[in-house]
């Protein structure tokens, strides 16, 4: 079989799935809120039952992350995201403003093209399936080729759950032969209505250039600042737990620690206590050489453990090492430790005070993480507020690991696995994307008052003036006219 044959076949498959999805979506539009909620519940329960197996599949197929953490991410989608969306009104009239006499009506987009990454394939497929069904949208997935099997299996589980609950199973579909040509067909076809893209920067840019409405995400070169007022022991424990979760494959994981000089010894001690290994200059150079290859992040280190990465770099580290860390002063594309590293590698920067810490964090965001997230550990509200006001980030996570805080697992942010970066990151939204991002809202607006044109008001004033034989001023005439008109409108 030639490459051209595969490409043509995949394009044809994309067209077939889009046609089936369009028909399924028409059925979804006829369903009531209660029926939609029954189907969504069945999907969430199916995802929860299969969370462990899907997690194992993802790691076995991609080599990224840890099975137990993949399971946790699957459960996050099936439990926490489901809990957040289950009582939302997404069908019919979802809100009535009785004061202003405006009704809001939910209307689905239609058919969604869902781009799935290799780093979080099963959890992202679960999450996008749930929020699409909740809003009566159909979705066709384009999986990453290296995560095809586990993505297909997750989609199959969702399809079976929909069918068992009495819904149209083709509301969720997945390509079996993913190619760039097929993905382009999904994004640009007249049968698709919205793109929900989670993946690398080139794919997200392609989604935005497709001519369709699109939600994409930007990279997350997330810095975390430890202020002198912080509980250092708790801060470092949270950072290491966050950074090593699933070997750092969530884009909201910390990439660099910025610490005040006055507490640096305590920070370094706690990093060692929590499994951090500080690289000496020679070891740092060797690890730097495997972080970047030909000016780009080395894909072979993504989602790998600290032990495997150290072996790749040709260095020996203690067997209990959880994260590799190097002291750094430089920021830029020529400083590998300063870029986004989707694996357990951290850079450590030192600052004299929070203002200098602010500057370092901003430079790190500008080095590939604009609009995404930032972390701060501090007990001083003034410093926290300054970070929130000044930073070009959409999520400022306080006293929590950024991985868990940014996705809404341990914070009050809406739980999601697609994190918008706003205009800083060239995204259309800074939201944690959820059901409300997947519906059009129509508004029924009742008239509240009569429209009085300015020339009519002036005409009434002239008529009043002509009949009043006194020294009353023009301004007083206008006040009388407006009062009369207001009384007429109220009555």
Query: Which residues belong to the active site?
Result: 251
Q: Are 337 and 328 in contact (CB under 8 A)?
A: yes
> Starting from the edge strand earliest in sequence, which strands make up the sheet with 222-226, in order?
276-278, 323-327, 345-351, 254-260, 222-226, 371-377, 393-398
Q: Do 418 and 217 touch, CB atoms closer than 8 A?
A: yes
Backbone torsion region of residue 368, taken as left when φ is above 0, otherwise alpha when ψ lies between -120 and 50, otherwise beta: left
DSSP states along 423-450: GGGT-S--SB--GGGGEEEEEEE---S-
> Apex CA 348: angle with CA 343 and CA 349, to 5°?
140
Residue 24's alpha-carbon distances to 40, 47, 135, 136, in angstroms, are: 15, 21, 13, 10
Both tokens of residue 56?
A: 């194992």
Q: What are phi and psi of 256, to 5 degrees?
A: -150, 140
Q: Return the residue matching tokens 């009353």.
A: 472
Spatial contact of 329 and 363, defined as CB atoms under 8 Å apart: no
Q: Which has the closest alpha carbon to 333: 241, 453, 221, 482? A: 221
How far is 258 from 456, CA to CA, in rounded Å?
66
If phi > 0 it is left, if psi is from -120 to 50 it is alpha, else beta; for residue 327 that is beta
Q: Which token pair is 326?
A: 């190097």
Residue 27: count other Cβ atoms within 10 Å of its Cβ.
14
């Amino acid at each position: 079989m030639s490459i051209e044959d595969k490409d043509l076949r995949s394009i044809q498959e994309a067209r077939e799935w889009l046609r089936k999805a369009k028909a399924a979506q028409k059925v979804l539009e006829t369903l009531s809120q209660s029926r939609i909620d029954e189907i969504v519940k069945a999907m969430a329960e199916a995802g929860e039952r299969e969370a462990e197996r899907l997690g194992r599949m993802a790691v076995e197929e991609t080599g990224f992350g840890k099975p137990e953490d993949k399971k946790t991410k699957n459960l996050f989608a099936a439990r926490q995201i489901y809990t957040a969306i289950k009582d939302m009104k997404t069908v019919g009239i979802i809100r009535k403003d009785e004061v202003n006499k405006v009704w809001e009506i939910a209307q689905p987009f239609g058919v969604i093209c869902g781009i799935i990454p290799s780093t979080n394939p099963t959890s992202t497929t679960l999450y996008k399936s749930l929020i699409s069904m909740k809003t009566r949208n159909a979705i066709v997935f384009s999986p990453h080729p290296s995560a095809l099997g586990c993505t297909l299996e997750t989609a199959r589980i969702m399809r079976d759950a929909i069918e068992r609950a009495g819904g149209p199973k083709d509301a969720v579909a997945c390509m079996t032969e993913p190619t760039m040509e097929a993905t382009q067909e999904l994004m640009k076809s007249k049968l698709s209505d919205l793109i929900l893209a989670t993946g690398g920067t080139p794919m997200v840019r392609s989604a935005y250039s497709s001519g369709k409405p699109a939600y994409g995400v930007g990279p997350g070169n997330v810095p975390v600042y430890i202020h002198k007022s912080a509980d250092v022991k708790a801060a470092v424990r949270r950072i290491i737990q966050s950074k090593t979760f699933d070997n750092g494959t969530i884009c909201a994981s910390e990439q660099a620690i910025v610490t005040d000089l006055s507490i640096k010894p305590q920070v370094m001690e706690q990093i060692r206590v929590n499994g951090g290994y500080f690289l000496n200059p020679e070891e740092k150079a060797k690890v730097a050489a495997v972080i970047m290859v030909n000016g780009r992040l080395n894909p072979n280190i993504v989602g790998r453990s600290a032990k495997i990465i150290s072996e790749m770099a040709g260095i020996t580290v203690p067997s209990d090492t959880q994260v590799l860390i190097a002291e750094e002063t430089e920021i830029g594309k020529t400083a590998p430790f300063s870029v986004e590293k989707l694996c357990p590698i951290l850079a450590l920067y030192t600052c004299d005070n929070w203002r200098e810490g602010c500057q370092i964090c901003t430079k790190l965001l500008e080095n590939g993480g604009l609009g995404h997230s930032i972390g701060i550990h501090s007990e001083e509200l003034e410093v926290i507020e300054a970070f929130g006001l000044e930073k070009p980030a959409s999520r400022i996570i306080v006293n929590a690991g950024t991985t868990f805080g940014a996705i809404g697992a341990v914070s009050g942010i809406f739980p999601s696995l697609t994190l918008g970066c706003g205009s800083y990151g060239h995204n259309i939204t800074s939201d944690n994307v959820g059901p409300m991002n997947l519906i059009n809202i129509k508004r029924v607006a009742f008239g509240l008052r009569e429209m009085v044109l300015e020339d009519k008001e002036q005409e009434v004033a002239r008529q009043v003036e002509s009949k009043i034989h006194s020294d009353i001023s023009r301004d007083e005439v206008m006040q009388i006219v407006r009062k009369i008109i207001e009384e007429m409108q109220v009555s």
